[in-house]
Every structure is written in structure tokens, then in C-alpha cells.
């Protein structure tokens, strides 16, 4: 049973507009959430993260929002650029005793296409 869910397999957005990628989780023990970006034939690369003590984290064009009560997070990309076209994975982790933040539970990914 998937503990991290990305229900949209794909998203298509025009260049310059906002891209919003969504993610839901079921495990209440998760307290650290990450977004990874993946190009074909490459490994995932870390994009942005958020701890459960925050509800927003911003890094340049990328902002992640966390709604703990709804067990939902979203990644906003503004403005979107063609180079942002990639698969985006949502991931969650627990910082509990004995855990490491690299022990991740991934969603199935969302293919973002940004067209000119």
C-alpha cells in the first residue's frame, strides 16, 4: 500500500505560468518531505524539502507547501521554464530514533511538460 501518493501522472503547463504538483501521504510518522527531479537516464536530484514544523519553504522559483492536517503537500514552480520538464517525485521520511532522512518513501512521480 502506497504511503505517498501522486495522483496526477502528468501535467502540461505553458512557459511562464505556474506549475502545481500535488502529493498526499498516509503515514502520520512522516515529518520530513522532499521533492526530487529526474531527467531521463539520470538519477533523481534533490530539489527542495520541508520539515513538518513549517508550512512553507521557498527556494527561488520553487515553493513547497505542507498541510499537515490534510496530509498534503504541493510544489509550486513560478514561472515555469522548458528546462523544468522532468519527472517530479514526492518523498517522505521520518526523523525518528534509528531513522535516517535518506530512508525515503516515494510517490510514483508526475511528468511535468513545460511548453513554449
- Looking at the Cβ atoms of 13 and 47, the one nearer to another protein is 47
Residues whose CB is less than 8 angstroms from the CB of residue 56 and which lie 6 or more positions away in sequence, other chains included: 50, 63, 64, 65, 66
Q: How far apart are CA 3 and CA 92, in angstroms?
A: 9
- Which residues contact another protein (rule: CB under 8 A)? 2, 4, 6, 9, 34, 36, 41-46, 49, 89, 91, 95, 98, 100-109
Q: Is the distance from CB of 62 to CB of 22 less than 8 angstroms?
A: no
- Looking at the Cβ atoms of 20 and 101, the one nearer to another protein is 101
- For residue 90, the minimal CB distance to another protein (Å) is 9
- For residue 24, the minimal CB distance to another protein (Å) is 13
- Looking at the Cβ atoms of 77 and 91, the one nearer to another protein is 91
Q: How many CA atoms lie within 13 A of 10 on its CB side?
A: 3
Amino acid at each position: 500500500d502506497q504511503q505517498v501518493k501522486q495522483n496526477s501522472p502528468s501535467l502540461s503547463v505553458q512557459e511562464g505560468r505556474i506549475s502545481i504538483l500535488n502529493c498526499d501521504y498516509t503515514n502520520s510518522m512522516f515529518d520530513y518531505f522532499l521533492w526530487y527531479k529526474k531527467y531521463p537516464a539520470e538519477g533523481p536530484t534533490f530539489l527542495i524539502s520541508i520539515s513538518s514544523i513549517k508550512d512553507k519553504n521557498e527556494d527561488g522559483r520553487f515553493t513547497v507547501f505542507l498541510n499537515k492536517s490534510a496530509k498534503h503537500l504541493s510544489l509550486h514552480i513560478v514561472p515555469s521554464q522548458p528546462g523544468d520538464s522532468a519527472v517530479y517525485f514526492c518523498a517522505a521520511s521520518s526523523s525518528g530514533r534509528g531513522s535516517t532522512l535518506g530512508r525515503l518513501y516515494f510517490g510514483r512521480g508526475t511528468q511535468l511538460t513545460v511548453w513554449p
